[in-house]
Amino acid sequence: MTERMEEALNKQLNAELYSAYMYLSMTAWFEAMNLDGFASWMKAQALEETEHAMKFYNFINERGGRVRLMPIEGPPTDWDSPVDVFEAAYKHEQRVTGLINDLVDLAIQEKDHATQIFLQWFVTEQVEEEASFSAILEKLRMVGESPGPLFMMDRELGQRRVNLPVASNP
């Protein structure tokens, strides 16, 4: 793996950790608003992003690279409404899609076939992420400020569970 590719993968590792941090901030906002289902959904998203970060961490190591952790920028902490939260999250996922696409372009340019193959999982994942956030955002826009439907969505989103891989014993 080239130094340029290693540096780009480390930057993406940081971006994935930022995503987890941002979704945890959104979790805290929803908890403060007593929307526990939304909070649970975002907490699951934060855990999923941490898992994504660890995929980059492990890949860099497996390729003989050096993981270099960088400071994680502080995320926003306040929004005006659940719609605002999901608009910000959807825009963020679109940005992450761009970052992944840039990494794929770099891997092609560097003729790094292993990284190209590794990144394909993330390309597919970003299609799912954007679709998921977009669908929730559209429902929230339909619901508006109506408390009844908002609480129904809160209950629905609270059903989300993340199945993280079980850590193996060394």
CATH code for the domain in which residue 104 is found: 1.20.1260.10
Q: What is the dihedral of CA 110, 120, 41, 49, to 10 degrees?
A: -30
Task: Please indicate, yes or no, if residue 75 is contained in any of the structural domains.
Answer: no
pLDDT grade, residue 146 (50/70/90)?
A: confident
Query: What is the phi/psi pair of residue 57, to 5°?
Result: -55, -50
d(CA 135, CA 61): 36
What is the tally of helices (H) and strands (E) in the chain? 5, 0
Over range 42-57, report the average pLDDT.
96
Q: How far is CA 141 from CA 1, 17, 95, 119, 134, in A?
A: 45, 28, 21, 33, 10
Query: Which of the residue ranges 3-12, 80-89, 95-104, 152-161 would you say has the lowest mean pLDDT?
Result: 152-161
pLDDT grade, residue 165 (50/70/90)?
A: low
Task: Please indicate, yes or no, if residue 16 is contained in any of the structural domains.
Answer: yes
**Residue 161: pLDDT over 80:** no
Q: How far is CA 134 from CA 43, 76, 93, in A?
A: 18, 20, 10
Residue located via tokens 């939304």: 38
Task: Please indicate, yes or no, if residue 169 is contained in any of the structural domains.
Answer: no
Task: Please indicate, yes or no, if residue 168 is contained in any of the structural domains.
Answer: no
The whole-number pLDDT of residue 169 equals: 43
Domain containing residue 146:
3-70+80-157
pLDDT grade, residue 163 (50/70/90)?
A: low
d(CA 7, CA 152): 44
Question: What's CA 164's distance to the chain center, in Å?
Answer: 14
Total structural domains in the chain?
Answer: 1
Task: Please indicate, yes or no, if residue 99 is contained in any of the structural domains.
Answer: yes
Over range 28-45, report the average pLDDT.
96
Task: Please indicate, yes or no, if residue 57 is contained in any of the structural domains.
Answer: yes
Task: Please indicate, yes or no, if residue 124 is contained in any of the structural domains.
Answer: yes
**Residue 77: pLDDT over 70:** yes
Task: Please indicate, yes or no, if residue 84 is contained in any of the structural domains.
Answer: yes
**Residue 78: pLDDT over 70:** yes
